[in-house]
Structure 1
């Protein structure tokens, strides 16, 4: 499961980024360098997603509400509940998988450059500092494996749905082991797309099987998934505070 994507909205990150630095300095950062280009790409995707949802509201309010719920559930709970919600709402593959892919790409392309800015001391983003520290510790634990397997290791790390793995963590670790920015983005995008697509087809089969019996079973299971995920997240936060 992806740890951080479920906790903080992308817009909150931008807010803190701009509060912590001077406008002129931030403008120079954003419009110069490859990490700046990646950040601009995230802003472009975010704008495109918002506009698409707003246009959809004019033609089909119910569909727009469902798409919005997919984005929100991915941000707060993760891809599995979001995909399950999409299929339970009987949305087509292309919508469910597409929205989740775009959402996670936005998260990666926004948090990855913000991490680099924070690491270089250009911006200090307080809500992200603990997460960045955890990622660096994760990298230290598996230093030998990452250096040995390189790009393949990064691909697998992003692909497998284990704790503290996923596109955001993988992208940051890719930078820490010395891979190039665009190489990291390419690996993360491909791995994320394949992973979400496979998860989508798998979950769709389960949802369709349950719908054949009773729609209530689908929503009960979805509720259990969300509640379990939230409980695990809360327990993890409490454990970190005590530690």
Structure 2
């Protein structure tokens, strides 16, 4: 059953006075807690690594930030450009995307239900909701496999955060939704990593800086897409 549209279009009566204990007692609240704990542990590991292995820590911090800002392909390529192993690149990007999903999903649900709306994130929530609604009929037609493939396919705006929003709109339980989305995300990261590893190995033959050029090209393309979408929404 598809969720009725609400929340994102209305003002939140609880925006200034919400009970965090009640929010955290829900399934979404527990998911948020798990996401924050994993994020804290990840940041702690990066911090400790920065103290003892500063040069390597810079790479992992840069790879994580690049994934968050410019997407999976850029983050993975960043890691390979510094000759990081497959396992570390894959694990780091999976952790980053898992954290993003575990934190984003509860806030999306809270916003949809008009329980909690964070104004700086409202535009992101609305845009995610629009994309999720546009694809929910296609996903519903194929059920859980449709959601899995939607998250896995390397198309623009078909990533895990949009996928978990679409799963919620289709009425999936939080744990079933996230199980599908995160398992598909892991597979997608592995596939992207294997593909980009092959590309990096080939272009490395052209010089020591060829891999970094690829990263810069991906960032420029993603930034261009963001800018065009910004202009379209503004005008």
Report the counterpart of residue 33 of structure 2 in structure 1: 40
C-alpha distance after superposition, 1:216-239 (max 9, x if no partner): 222222212211211111111111
| 3-state secondary structure, aligned to 1:123 | coil
Q: Which of 109, 112, 116 is 1:119 aligned to?
A: 112
Q: Is residue 21 of structure 2 the alignment partner of residue 27 of structure 1?
A: yes
Q: Which of 84, 94, 100 is 1:91 aligned to?
A: 84
Report the counterpart of residue 231 of structure 1 in structure 2: 224
The equivalences for 1:30-69 within 5 A come to 30=24, 32-69=25-62
The equivalences for 1:214-225 within 5 A come to 214-225=207-218
**138-147 or 114-123, which deviates more:** 138-147
Q: Which of 161, 168, 173 is 2:161 aligned to?
A: 168
RMSD over aligned CA atoms reads: 1.6
Aligned equivalents of 2:16 and 2:39: distance in 1?
Answer: 22
Report the counterpart of residue 14 of structure 1 in structure 2: none
Q: Which of 132, 135, 150 is 2:143 aligned to?
A: 150
Q: Which of 125, 134, 141 is 1:132 aligned to?
A: 125
**69-78 or 206-215, which deviates more:** 206-215
Aligned equivalents of 1:155 and 1:75: distance in 2?
Answer: 21
**154-163 or 216-225, which deviates more:** 216-225
Aligned equivalents of 2:67 and 2:136: distance in 1?
Answer: 29
By how many angstroms is 1:120 displaced? 1.3
By how many angstroms is 1:212 displaced? 2.6
Report the counterpart of residue 189 of structure 1 in structure 2: 182
Point out where structure 2 has 5 or more consecutive residues left out of the alignment: 1-14
| 3-state secondary structure, aligned to 1:212 | helix
Aligned equivalents of 1:143 and 1:192: distance in 2?
Answer: 18
Q: Which of 78, 97, 101 is 1:104 aligned to?
A: 97
By how many angstroms is 1:21 displaced? 4.1
C-alpha distance after superposition, 1:32-65 (max 9, x if no partner): 0111110001111101101111121232111111
By how many angstroms is 1:207 displaced? 0.8
| 3-state secondary structure, aligned to 2:114 | coil
| 3-state secondary structure, aligned to 2:206 | coil
Report the counterpart of residue 8 of structure 2 in structure 1: none
| 3-state secondary structure, aligned to 1:163 | coil
Name the count of aligned residue pairs. Answer: 222
Aligned equivalents of 1:116 and 1:107: distance in 2?
Answer: 14
TM-score, length-normalised on structure 1? 0.86
**Contact 2:132–2:165 (8 Å) recurs in 1:** no
